[in-house]
Amino acid sequence: YSKHLIAPSVLAADFANLQKEIEMVNSSEADWFHIDIMDGVFVPNISFGFPVMQAINKHAKKPLDVHLMIVDPDRYLQTCRDNGAEVITVHYEACTHLHRTLAAIKELGCKAGVALNPHTSVDVLKDIVQDLDLVCLMSVNPGFGGQKFIEHTYRKISALRELAVASNPGLLIEIDGGVSSANAANLLRAGADVLVAGNFVFSASDPIETIKGLKEVNVN
Ligand code: DX5
Ligand code: ZN
């Protein structure tokens, strides 16, 4: 029995029936709501912004895990918290003063996360890993749901687990992109703690059962 968390990505939900989709997640075994905010600058797509996140927060009965795919995220940290974020993850590639940004997130009372694009080595976290609550390893290029999982991610999970073992054993490793029942067990075996799943959950004929399947995946 593995103690991992499941975070369905609302990006893949039916936006015209958002309340129904949120209630589905509320009544499931999911642990968090994964909220993808994109600005059309850091990534080549625009998802939704804080008014929509506020509407989600009104109905969500589980923590909001907010993934900011935006440039200069410092400008929006307060708004993000005010709209219900419990975890705020910024991109390593979008932060010139990452240490300051992480301190600002914690100052707001949120858990602080950093996301790495597929091309960014986990080695860049060597001098900041002790200040992190979570690292989100992108297993697709951010911007879109429904993409193919990048296999190299397994090696990054192992390397990050090794990096964290001495300085931050409680670090949560989150995997985002192309997660399904086909790779969940292997991701957990490699050292993942949080699995984000968008299309695999929301496009399923029975999303609640699909979440249950990810939650109860056998890692042995
Ligand atoms: C991609 C987002 C992901 C996305 C995952 O930029 O950060 O959270 O919603 O969707 P799937 O699980 O469909 O790859
Ligand atoms: Zn995401």
Residues labelled catalytic: 36, 176
Any domain includes 59: yes
Q: Which residue has the higher pLDDT, 41 or 166?
A: 41
pLDDT of residue 107: 98
- Nearest ligand atom owner, CA of 142: 1
Number of domains composing the chain:
1
For residue 149, the ligand 1 atom closest to its alpha carbon is 14
- β-bridge mates for residue 68, sequence order: 37, 90
Mean pLDDT, to the nearest integer, of 32-55?
A: 98
Mean pLDDT, to the nearest integer, of 2-29?
A: 97
Mean pLDDT, to the nearest integer, of 10-30?
A: 98
For residue 115, the ligand 1 atom closest to its alpha carbon is 7
Establish whether 113 is an annotated binding residue: no
At residue 161 the predicted structure's pLDDT band, cuts being 50, 70 and 90, is: very high
Mean pLDDT, to the nearest integer, of 138-153?
A: 98
Counting residues of the chain whose pLDDT is more than 90, the rounded percentage is 97
200 has pLDDT over 70: yes
Q: Is 179 in the pocket of ligand 1 (CB under 6 A)?
A: yes
Mean pLDDT, to the nearest integer, of 29-44?
A: 98
Q: How far is the CA of 179 from the centre of ligand 2 (A)?
A: 11
Q: How far is the CA of 52 from the centre of ligand 1 (A)?
A: 17
Enclosing H/E stretch for 20 = helix 18-26
Any domain includes 182: yes
Q: Could you tell me if 190 and 154 are in contact, meaning their C-beta atoms sit under 8 angstroms apart?
A: yes
Any domain includes 88: yes
Q: Is 118 in the pocket of ligand 1 (CB under 6 A)?
A: no
Provide the total of helices (H) and of strands (E) in the chain, helices listed first. 8, 8
1 has pLDDT over 80: no
Average pLDDT, the chain: 97
Q: Is 153 in the pocket of ligand 1 (CB under 6 A)?
A: no
Residues 214, 23: Cα–Cα separation, whole Å: 18
Q: Is 197 in the pocket of ligand 1 (CB under 6 A)?
A: yes
Establish whether 28 is an annotated binding residue: no
Question: What does the block give as tokens for 192?
Answer: 């993942």
Any domain includes 220: no
Any domain includes 174: yes
pLDDT of residue 14: 98
Range(s) of the domain holding residue 142: 5-215
Q: How far is the CA of 93 from the centre of ligand 2 (A)?
A: 15
Q: Could you tell me if 91 and 117 are in contact, meaning their C-beta atoms sit under 8 angstroms apart?
A: yes
Task: Output the CA torsion sign for 31, 175, 164, 116.
Answer: negative
Q: Kindly report the CATH number assigned to the domain that includes residue 35.
A: 3.20.20.70
pLDDT of residue 220: 80
Any domain includes 56: yes
pLDDT of residue 214: 98
2 has pLDDT over 80: no
How much is the ipTM here? 0.99
